Amino acid sequence: MTTLQTLGAQALLGTDKRPPAFPPDDSEIGRLLHALPGGEGNADALRLLRAAGVQAVCGDAGYTPPRTERLIPAPCPEETRQAVDKAAMIGILRRLFAEGAERPCREALRLMQKADRILPPALLPPALALGRRVPALRESIAAVAGERGRWLGLQNPAWNLFATDAGGELDPESWDHGSPIQRRTYMSAMRRKDAAKARALFEEARETADAKERAAFAECLRENLSLEDEALLESLLATDRSKEVRQIAATLLSLLPESAYARRMGERLAACIVLPEPRKGGLLDRVAAALSGPDLPEVNPPQAFDPEWKKDMVEEKKPPYEKLGQRGWWLHQLAKGTPLSWWEAHTGLTPAALFKWAQKGDWSYALLRIWWEGILRERHAVWARAYLDVVFQGGMDAMIGETRLEAAELIGILPQAEREAAMLERFPYPGPTDSPDKFAHNNDKRLIMFSHMSSLRWDEDAVFSEEGSRHLIKCLHFWARHLTDDEKMAYSGGPYALAKIAEATAGLLPFPVLDTVLEDWPRDEAGLPCCSQIHANLSASLAARKTLYLYFAGENAS
C-alpha cells in the first residue's frame, strides 16, 4: 500500500480515533512529512490533509512510466484516399457522432463512402467509439476509417471493430485472432457473403467459444437462414450448454416451416386447434352454411404438460408476471414454435379471417398475442397488413386484454411505400369540414401517440415521395401553429411529441423540399417562428443535411 493509500484509509477512519502515523522515511519527502505543522484546532486532521497534498504533488511530479516489453508499433501506412478537410463538415460530423442517431450518421457515412473520402484523424476516436456503441454502423465506419482508423484499432482493442483488410476484403486474421466484436462482425459479413462457409466456421468454433460468443454467432445465422442450417440448429437445441443459445436455435428453427422442429410444434398445436367436422354437402347443409357462415375451429389448449416438450424449449411453469393462465401459457409456447403459415394451412382461413374469428372467442387475448409476436418475429408484411386493418382498424393503438399494442411496430414491417402511406394517414390533420382550432384542441393526445412513429426503421436511402413530403410538411406546420396558440396543449406534452416527430422525419425529406420546410414555417404575431425551439433544431438538422449533400454529392444532390 502506498503512503497516499495509507493516508486515505486513516482519513476514512477519522483522526479523532487514530492520529495520523507516517511510515519511517529518510528521504526528503519523508522528512517533509514528519515536519509538517498541524496548526490550531484540528491539528491531526490538518497534518493528514497536508501530507496527502504533498504526496499527490510529489507523486505526479516524479512519476516514471513502467517499463514494457512491448515493441513500438509499426508506423501507420500512408493513406490512399483524401480525408474530409472542410472545417464546417468536420464540425457537423463531430456533432452527429456525439449524438449517435443512427439514420443521420448512416447517411453521412454513405455520402462519404460514395465520394471516396475518409475521416480525418481528429474524427476517428469519436467515430470508432460510436461503432462500439452502435453495431449497425460498424461496417459503414470501417469503410471510411482509412488506414489510420485500422491502425488505431490495432493499438486499442476497444476500437478494433474491423473484419476486413485494407482492400475491403474479409480478413481471416480478424476471425482467427480478433476481438469478440471483430469475430461477430466477421461472422455476420461472411454469412451475407457465403452462408455455408459461415456455418462451417461456427461449427468449428463451437467447442472453444464461450456461451456469449456462441449466442452471438447463432444470431448471425438469422441472415440468409435456410434448411441447410437445420442440422446445426437442431444440434445446438439438443446439446448446447447455454439456455440462451438453445432458445435462439429454437426461434430460428421456428422460422423454417419445413423443419422437423416446426413440424413437431405444429403437430402439438394441431391438437389444440380443433377443426370442425366436414358437412355432408346436402341441400340442408348448404342452406345452413349460407345462413350461418362456415364452421370455425375450436380452441382447446393443453390440459397437461408433456415432459417431451422441454426438449424443444417449452417451459412447464409460467413466469410470475405472465398474464396468461397456465393452459394459455402452454398454448402460447407451442404456437411460438410454429410458423404463421401453419395457421393458414391448418384452418384454411386468411389472416384477416383468423383475426375476426379470434376476436369472438374466449381465447381472444392468447391468440391475438400469439399472432402479434409471430408477425414481429417473422417480419411478415401480409399478416402485419391484415392485423392493422382488423385489430387496429386504422388507429394508432389497440387493446388486447389489458395489453396496449402500438401500430408503429407493425407499420415498420410493411414495404417502404406502404409504410409511408400507413404512417402519414395516421398523422392527425383536420378534414375539410373540421374546425382547425377545435380539431387541434381535441386531438393533442393523438399527436402524442403518433410521436411513437419516430421509432420506425427505414432503409438507409429511403426518402418520402413528393406527395408524402408535402403532406408531412403541412402536418408539421399545422401543429407548430396550434401548439403555440393553444395554452392547454403547450403543457400537455404536445411540443415534445412534435419535436420527436420533426427530428425523426427530417432525414426522410428529399433534398429538393428541404428549404420549403422552413420558408413556410408558421410565425406568431411578432413574426417569430412558432415552436421556436423545434424550428431551431429543425433548422440545424436540415442545414447539416444540405451541407453534407453539397459537400459530398455536389450537383448530383439535386
Mean pLDDT of the chain: 89
Question: What residue has cell string 375539410?
Answer: 432
Buried b (16+ CB within 10 A) or exposed e, 449-468: bbbbbeebebeeeebbeeeb
Helix residue ranges, H only, 427-513: 436-442, 444-450, 466-485, 487-490, 494-505
The proportion of the chain whose per-residue pLDDT surpasses 90, expressed as a percent, equals 63
Task: Judge whether 199 and 228 are in contact, CB under 8 Å.
Answer: yes
Neighbour tally for 325: CB within 10 Å: 13
* pLDDT category of residue 556 using cuts at 50, 70 and 90: very low
pLDDT of 500-539, one tens digit each? Answer: 999 988 889 998 898 899 999 999 889 999 999 999 999 9
pLDDT of 382-395, one tens digit each? Answer: 999 999 999 999 88
Average pLDDT score over residue span 319-347 = 96
For position 555, what pLDDT does the model report? 37
Check whether 319 has a pLDDT greater than 90: yes
pTM of this prediction? Answer: 0.78
Question: What distance in Å separates the CA atoms of residue 370 and residue 476, rounded to the nearest whole number?
Answer: 36
Cell readout for 38 is 498541524
Which positions ≥6 away from 127 have C-beta within 8 Å?
93, 97, 119, 141, 145, 149
DSSP class of residue 491 equals T
For position 439, what pLDDT does the model report? 94
- For the chain, the first-to-last Cα distance in angstroms comes to 67
Query: What is the secondary structure of 495-512 as a DSSP string?
Result: HHHHHHHHHHHGGGS-GG
Write out the H or E segment, with its range, that includes residue 141: helix 138-144
Chain-centroid distance of CA 14 in Å reads 49
pLDDT of 2-22, one tens digit each? Answer: 778 888 888 888 888 888 877
